[in-house]
Chain A
Amino acid sequence: GDSVTQMEGPVTLSEEAFLTINCTYTATGYPSLFWYVQYPGEGLQLLLKATKADDKGSNKGFEATYRKETTSFHLEKGSVQVSDSAVYFCALGGFGNEKLTFGTGTRLTIIP
């Protein structure tokens, strides 16, 4: 079945550092890929998505590229801020499937 593997956390970075959170997937067909962010005590917010190979999703300075050859969708940001501290979830929407498959989440803490 479909699965998503995310980089183990927690991740701690200094402000203005470069961020990468790794995400790889296993799926049949051509899934869509999503990154969600969860701030403490809140629900998940859609951060970005990509629906086909080589698509790049971007939002709020975050980017992720759908790499079919490496089955990856790594999240990147060039210069993180304290306000980026949150838990980040990678998710997969399988072809012909109304459900999402989530990774376990990566907790990110940015220190000033």
Chain B
Amino acid sequence: DGGITQSPKYLFRKEGQNVTLSCEQNLNHDAMYWYRQDPGQGLRLIYYSQIVNDFQKGDIAEGYSVSREKKESFPLTVTSAQKNPTAFYLCASRPSGGPTVAQYFGPGTRLTVL
């Protein structure tokens, strides 16, 4: 089955530790995205990548880092510099084709920093 997988579903970390969230897609999509969702709020874009080995900052990139070494993978690292990392993190992908093409989302990872 084609789709986007995020692992793990729940993640707990101690304050001050870096943590990496996984996102893999087998849809052959060119672009991939990371969003953060806080309770009662919309989605905020962290980073996105339109092509392998290239990525751009979104609206709230501070304290996060990404890599795009393979088309199907776009891991997100939440560093200790991120002030409030506890949130629900969503990965998405889309094929190329301009603004008429929708993004497709993974199931999300809920990160809790203790």
Contact = CB atoms under 8 A, between A and B. Distances in A.
Residue among B50, B98, B102, B107 facing the most chain A CB atoms (10 A cut-off) = B102
Contact of A104 (B41, B45, B105, B107): B41
Nearest to A27: B99
Q: Tell me what chain A mostly uses at the interface: helix, strand, loop, or mixed.
A: loop
A95 B99 contact: yes
Interface residues of A, number: 25
A21 to B, nearest CB: 14
What bracket does the count of chain B residues touching chain A fall in? 20 to 34
B16 to A, nearest CB: 27
B74 interface: no
Given A49-B102, A95-B99, 20 more contacts: A31-B99, A32-B100, A41-B110, A42-B108, A43-B6, A43-B90, A44-B43, A44-B92, A45-B105, A51-B100, A89-B42, A93-B99, A93-B102, A96-B98, A97-B99, A98-B50, A99-B45, A99-B58, A102-B42, A105-B41
Interface of B: 4, 6, 31, 33, 41-43, 45, 48, 50, 58, 90, 92, 94, 98-108, 110
